[in-house]
Amino acid sequence: MELTNTLLSQTDKRPLQTRLNTLLHWNSIDSVSDWERNRNNIIDSFYQHNRNPFIDHPELAEYLWGDRIGGIWIPEQSDSSIVASTFERYNSEVRIYPNPAQNQITISHSNLSSGSYVILNFLGQNIMENTLESNIVDVSALPKGSYVLMLRDLNNNKDYFKKFMK
């Protein structure tokens, strides 16, 4: 598929999506959602182990194809969860059990004193979230399936991601 900015004739059957200025316009008006950020985190943590740079830095499209070609791009770190020092993929300090779960999961963490959790489905949708009152999370309301527990350690500013099934 060729990207072009030429004006298409009325008989041209090429789709509008192949026009570069259309794609750049969509990129500028459609900001990255929390759903897309969660999905990017899950894909990076559990599957591909790489990130989509256009989710983390949507302004990059302008430097590659738009009005800022040739400009010096200095990425701004807007999402602290993707910084290597704070984004923890696999950490042996955190365990969850039983897995698969029935009605509850127990979180074992050596240093966690205050935090919260978010349970995401594998589409990156936020299913459940709450403050971590104890090391037990009630998952009885969840249907059977695969989930990701995102545990937020508020004291150390770290996020831990653990897969579990119900």
Q: Looking at the domain that runs over 87-165, which CATH code has it been given? A: 2.60.40.3080
- Average pLDDT over every residue of 115-130: 87
> What pLDDT score does 152 carry?
84
**Domain spans, the chain:** 16-79, 87-165
Q: Which residue has the tokens 């759903």?
A: 35
Cα angle 94-99-102, degrees, rounded to a multiple of 5: 125
- Average pLDDT over every residue of 145-164: 83
Phi then psi dihedrals of residue 130, to 5 deg: -170, 170
Higher pLDDT pick, 114 / 34: 34
> What pLDDT score does 148 carry?
87
> What pLDDT score does 113 carry?
66
Higher pLDDT pick, 30 / 83: 30
